[in-house]
Amino acid sequence: MSAACTWVRAFGERVVLGGVFALLVGWPLFAEPPKADPAEVYRPSLVPDRILLSIPGDPSRTMAVTWRTSTVIEQAWAEITRATAEPLSGSTPRRIPARTERLETDLFEAHYHTVIFEDLAPQTRYAYRVGDGVNWSPWHHFQTASDKPEPFRFLYFGDAQNDIASHWSRVIREAFQTEPRAAFLLHAGDLINRWNRDAEWGEWHAAGGWINGCIPSIAAAGNHEYGGVPPLSSVLTPNWRAQFEFPRNGPEGLHETVYYFDYQAARIVVLNSNLAFQEQATWLESVLRDHDRPWTIVSMHHPIYSARPGRDNPVIRSLWKPLFDRYRVALVLQGHDHSYMRSGLLGESAPDEPIQRQMSGGTVYVISVSGPKMYDLGWQPFTRRAARNTQMYQVIEVAVDKLRFEARMADGRLYDAFHLTRNADGSVQLHDEIPSVPDRR
Ligand SMILES: [Fe+2]
């Protein structure tokens, strides 16, 4: 045997012996890979990212788009044209300058750009892109609402909040696969966990990805969207108004966290259950009273009726629920309790009356969770369907004479369903369609 072969064999034996020794004493054989730095992963660049549509007013005539770049980009535009089958390179889109604002977060300074598309045609598919004239996003499509009360569907999500990139992405993507033509995505608060962490917003935008550029979002602010130094913990996450463009028709000082809009057969009202409850009650009454849409749907973060005792919100219940009763709100979509709970029709009478009485007249209250953080359920007398430890999303279909609701689990399976119709006196009738899936309480 040559000297070289002897050396190689001796070296190999040492490596094997060294490996066995390392395993015995618990030394790692290889160094851990470094963890990706959020300041690198979510750094803004010249290329538009976090592209998001939101509903800024009449959804049959307007649409808003927001996006982010580095602060190098000081002037930006959106271009829009009717979607056609031909390549868009031959089109002559309308170019609209963006409103640009600087946002400083814990990670970086960035520019957020906003364009509101106006004078759009109802029920029309548009193509748009955003950029600075050199660096453009891909072209995206969206569709405006009809100006007639035709049926539509939307998606509703309870709290995403934690481990958003790893555990919430699958839920929004499964929901999109269930309802790819959803009119909008409604987020009932606690979209993120820490109000002042830009990386969490980065995860939220990455989870939705290009879905957010094609289907508009609306959102209610949860307690986790607020922060600050106690007792002044009422600072809204600075990302909110930079990245969303919601209707500015709420009470003074609460714009874009309290608002309403009409979508075909429904008036959608979003409330802020964190503060200024009395002020919102005055505004709410006028918004619920003065409209002719067949259905009113309200969303907010904190539940009027909690999924378990001890998490009640009696102040908003005493101020807002009498208005829901008086003006026949059909459905209230909430979050915060990190479980699923759907009530019967709760009206002016006590919520612990016999379940048969909860089939006619009143409002259905729903709590849901789409992220992975879970709380236990308690027994509540008004619960008709509930689930613990289940990530969910909901599809809601609104037609003039019927409102249909489906709650689906993260794997796409149906867990709960019902529909509402109108009685001759205008009150609501509940029709359960609970599937034969084992109860997950
Ligand atoms: Fe919450």
Name which of 340, 355, 332, 218 is nearest 284 in CA terms.
332
Structure confidence by residue, pLDDT tens digits, 1-42: 455 555 546 555 655 555 555 556 555 567 899 999 999 999
Instruction: Give me ligand 1 centre to Cα 40, in Å.
Output: 29
- Predicted pLDDT of residue 1: 45
Going from the Cα of 224 to the center of ligand 1, the distance in angstroms, rounded, reads 6
User: What is the 183 CA–ligand 1 centroid distance (Å)?
Assistant: 25
CA distance 266 to 405: 14
User: Which pLDDT score is estimated for 229?
Assistant: 73
Q: Does domain 152-432 have CATH number 3.60.21.10?
A: yes
pTM of the shown model: 0.92
Give the distance (Å) from ligand 1 centre to CA of residue 306: 12
Measured CA to CA, the distance from residue 410 to residue 171 in angstroms comes to: 5
Q: What mean pLDDT is reported for the chain?
A: 92
Report mean pLDDT in 10-residue bins for the chain, 441 residues.
53 56 60 94 98 98 98 98 92 96 97 98 98 98 98 98 98 98 98 97 98 98 90 86 97 95 98 96 96 96 91 92 96 98 87 68 96 92 94 98 98 98 91 96 91
Distance 188 CA to ligand 1 centre (A): 9
Cα(108) to ligand 1 centroid in Å equals 26
What φ, ψ does residue 408 adopt, rounded to 5°?
Answer: -115, 150
What amino acid is encoded at 274 in this protein? N
Strand order in the sheet with 331-334: 259-263, 266-270, 295-299, 331-334, 363-367, 340-346, 383-387
The radius of gyration of the chain from alpha carbons, rounded to an integer in Å, stands at 25
Sequence ranges of the domains in the chain: 47-143, 152-432
Question: What pLDDT sits at residue 359?
Answer: 81
**Residues with CB in 5 Å of ion ligand 1:** 190, 222-223, 336
Range list of H helices, 3-87: 3-25, 38-41
CA-to-CA separations, 308 to 19, 359, 402, in angstroms, rounded: 54, 22, 30
- 258 alpha carbon to ligand 1 midpoint, in Å? 17
Cα of 320 vs centre of ligand 1, distance in Å, is 19
C-alpha 92/C-alpha 32 separation (Å) is 53
How far, in Å, is the centroid of ligand 1 from the Cα of 189? Answer: 7
Rounded distance from Cα 359 to ligand 1 centre (Å): 29
Q: At a CB cut-off of 8 Å and minimum separation 6, what does 136 contact? A: 48, 129, 130
273 C-alpha to center of ligand 1: Å? 10
Ligand 1 centroid distance, CA of 323 (Å): 23
Token output for 372: 């992975």
Question: Same CATH topology for 47-143 and 152-432?
Answer: no
Distance 301 CA to ligand 1 centre (A): 7
**Tokens representing 370?**
């789409």
Answer whether the bond into residue 33 is a cis peptide, omega within 30°: no
Whole-number Å distance, alpha carbon 374 to ligand 1 midpoint, is 12
Expressed in angstroms and rounded, the spacing between residue 268 Cα and the centre of ligand 1 is 21
What local confidence, expressed as pLDDT, does residue 380 receive? 86
Which CATH superfamily is 47-143 part of?
A: Purple acid phosphatase-like, N-terminal (2.60.40.380)
Neighbours of 3 (CB within 10 A): 7
CA of residue 226 to ligand 1 center, whole Å = 10
Q: 369 CA distance to ligand 1 centroid (A)?
A: 10
Tokens of 131: 């950029």
Q: Which two tokens stand for residue 198?
A: 């830009």
End-to-end Cα spacing for the chain:
72
Separation of CA 187 and ligand 1 centre (Å)? 12
Q: Is the four-CA dihedral 263, 266, 267, 269 of positive or negative sign?
A: negative
94, 52, 43, 101: which is closest to 75 by C-alpha?
101
